[in-house]
Amino acid sequence: MDASGYAPLSLAGLAIDPARRRVTGPGGEAVIEPLVMRLLLELVDREGEVLPRRELFNRLWGNAQVGDDSLNRAVGNLRRALDRTSEGEVLIETVPRVGYRLTTSHAEAGSGQRTVGRRALLMGGAAMALAAVGAAILRLRTERELTDAKQWTDRGDVLLRDAVPLQAGAALPPLRKAMTLDPRSSRALGLMALAEETSAYNGGSANPADSLRHAETCARDALQRDPGEPHARLAMLDLNAGRMDWSEIEDGLQALLGTAPDNLHVLGSLTSFLQAAGLTRRSWPINERAAAAAPSSPTPQWRRVLRLWTAGRTQDALALSERLMPLWPSHALVWNARFMVLAYSGRTAAAAEMLGSPANPAANAHPILRSQWEPTLAALADPSQARVAQAREANLAAAQRSPGQATYAAMTLSALGEVDAAYLVIDALLRSKGPLAVGRPVAAHSFVANAPSWCRTQWLFMPPLVAVRQDARFEGLCDDLGLTRYWRKRGVGPDTFLPG
């Protein structure tokens, strides 16, 4: 028990301030030791019932080996403090061979010492005030539960903020714990909605349809309690994005940002959206706001690496990624960002070393396949006809395994000058058509794009896709994805400019 987590309590004429370790009553004030305050709170929490000695040893000292003298000394110190401050009204009764409980003294004639019954202590020193004491104890417990619920909610928030999207479900257990302690928490419900839909849309859920239904239920419940809850609003925006165009999605994100300007999930979503639209310059300051708000988070940092690389500042990207790796060596997206920059910037030996390292994250965002990357690195290092042919076949095969491998394949094929093959992959991934898409099911909610508002096209604007972007087919691709209409409506176009 951490006494600092308790709110001040009024009890039996005494004012108890756990954080300051003070007990104040008619007889004055006493400042007690931390262990003695914890003993008092344990007795109060038992609500007048006997607290066994062996349980007290466990609660106060845990596994430490202490003797009876330690407990006797703590009880004695507390007795003296209570006797003086309450003027003898609040006492500690010893129950022989069992333990201790709080008691009160009654001044009426013929009455002796009275035991505090369950949920009953003497208030004011004159009469039993059951309701007042019960309310005080309930308030004490409620404050502690709310404090614990906030801590669990904060934990879930950080896990969701820093996770690879595939692992967003790791935030759910602490959020469920928070809900058991505070079922009215709209924030915990909103974060649960966001975690469920993120996990479902990114392949982290065993049953995506159930996860999406639960996400919608949680979001609606949260918004009934608090119509402005930002995580629930963001989850609902994501859930409805398939029926919206790019401009509508951006408007929704900007409206959210207006009401929650420092929310890291909103900042992250807007950063990703803008980069998916090829707007590096506009995405940069949004990500910088997130980095300033959460300097200990890896998420804005690996995004910085990719934005620097996209803007042609490869040396800056590599220098930053080198600083990040010792801080978050097992974070999949920190690892991926450095690996991609090395692989596609002529540093294939360093990329191959990362590929063979035991530090390669097992739960990668897009699992690195040796069968794809070994011929890829060989061809990037020496683009001979034979090696390029091997890399082309390996990447076309890998592209049919998952969207993650497909994005790597498109980048590799473009970087090797195999633009026709790159477009085969892109057509299957973003348009669900062509020979690579034949026989591949397209789910209503899947990682594979099947709506113009898919908004997972950040990789299209990265350096390896230069040849794809310069090809005449790119204009038609942007038309099909809804990007052309968005750029025209907003009066903007793709860029790779960064300030500074």
Number of compact structural domains in the chain: 1
Question: What pLDDT sits at residue 96?
Answer: 86
Which three-class secondary structure state does DSSP give residue 331?
coil
pLDDT band at 309 (very low <50, low <70, confident <90, very high): very high
pTM: 0.71
Residue 98 is assigned to a structural domain of this protein: yes
**Cα–Cα distance, 309 to 307 (Å, whole number):** 5
Q: 116 is written with which tokens?
A: 């505090």
pLDDT band at 284 (very low <50, low <70, confident <90, very high): very high
Q: What is the DSSP letter of 294?
A: -
Residue 481 is assigned to a structural domain of this protein: no
pLDDT band at 290 (very low <50, low <70, confident <90, very high): very high
pLDDT band at 7 (very low <50, low <70, confident <90, very high): low
pLDDT band at 134 (very low <50, low <70, confident <90, very high): low
Residue 88, exposed/middle/buried by CB under 10 A (0-12, 13-18, 19+)?
Answer: middle
DSSP 183-211: TT-HHHHHHHHHHHHHHHHTT--SSHHHH
Q: 225 is written with which tokens?
A: 């309690």
Residue 350, exposed/middle/buried by CB under 10 A (0-12, 13-18, 19+)?
Answer: middle
pLDDT digits (tens, 9 = 90+) for 421-456: 999 999 988 888 888 875 554 444 444 444 445 568
Q: Which residues pair with 90 in a beta bridge?
A: 104
Question: Where in the sequence is the domain holding 63, given as residue range(s)?
Answer: 3-128
**Cα–Cα distance, 337 to 314 (Å, whole number):** 12
Residue 248 is assigned to a structural domain of this protein: no
Q: 344 is written with which tokens?
A: 């596609």
pLDDT digits (tens, 9 = 90+) for 179-203: 988 888 999 999 999 999 998 887 7
**Cα–Cα distance, 178 to 428 (Å, whole number):** 42
**Cα–Cα distance, 499 to 492 (Å, whole number):** 17
**Cα–Cα distance, 158 to 170 (Å, whole number):** 10
Which residues lie below 8 Å from residue 216, measured CB to CB, with a gap of 6+?
193, 235, 236, 239
CATH number at residue 35: 1.10.10.10
Question: What pLDDT sits at residue 126?
Answer: 35
Contact 44, 9 (CB under 8 A): yes
Contact 241, 198 (CB under 8 A): no
Question: What pLDDT sits at residue 469?
Answer: 96
Q: 456 is written with which tokens?
A: 């997972």
pLDDT band at 15 (very low <50, low <70, confident <90, very high): confident
Residue 262 pLDDT exceeds 90: yes
Residue 255 is assigned to a structural domain of this protein: no
**Cα–Cα distance, 376 to 348 (Å, whole number):** 9
Arithmetic mean of pLDDT over the chain: 85
Residue 432 is assigned to a structural domain of this protein: no
Percent of residues, the chain, with pLDDT higher than 90: 53
CB atoms < 10 A from the CB of 288, how many? 17
pLDDT band at 129 (very low <50, low <70, confident <90, very high): very low
Q: Which residues pair with 10 in a beta bridge?
A: 15
**Cα–Cα distance, 215 to 191 (Å, whole number):** 9
Q: What's the gap between Cα 350 and its chain centre?
A: 32
Residue 258 is assigned to a structural domain of this protein: no
Residue 500 pLDDT exceeds 90: no
Q: What is the DSSP letter of 115?
A: E
Question: What pLDDT sits at residue 2?
Answer: 56
Residue 476 is assigned to a structural domain of this protein: no
